[in-house]
Structure 1
């Protein structure tokens, strides 16, 4: 009837863009694979849901404040990793931006996913 709440989440910058979830075994989730982080309320407790490519994990048995804080901490950890990646690839991103602007300038063409792929690959 009640969730066990037996889980541990580790947000350690030394894990190089990974979040470690211990819930009957250790799983490392890449920040780049996480699609969403959300909270939900049940009758007696709150849950944080982490959706990643190929899996969904629920961290339950939390108070409302604890679930909101955990979700905020997850967002901050993931965003910090993404900002670090963007900071190290600034020159490459500027090149991609220039290629994409050439495709879309003067509204001559819409931007398709294939265009993005070609701009990033070159």
Structure 2
């Protein structure tokens, strides 16, 4: 969503219930345009690796895919390939013969670095739910 689209959404007016939530959140009777932009941006993005990212919403769901679920899906698919198709898996990770070996290795290295932090962040996120 572009800044112009965010401005248009703000200008068209938010429902009174959402405005009251924003007033409560920001502790002001009238949130500023920057407050509204920040709040709207926070609703359409997810925090991941100390930044905000847009994640797709799977078909039929209104919310975007959580980063932990995205990692789970990728690693689950790779684990199924390794377990049930070991010959194909061995071919894919053979650095001498496969163009997929290095990207798979980099993906798994990144997973080892990202997942412990992501799991801790997700636990903190869930712990703050009311």
> What is the TM-score when the length of structure 2 is the normalising length?
0.28
Max radius of gyration: which structure? 2
Tell me which protein shows more helix as a share of its residues: 2
> What is the TM-score when the length of structure 1 is the normalising length?
0.29
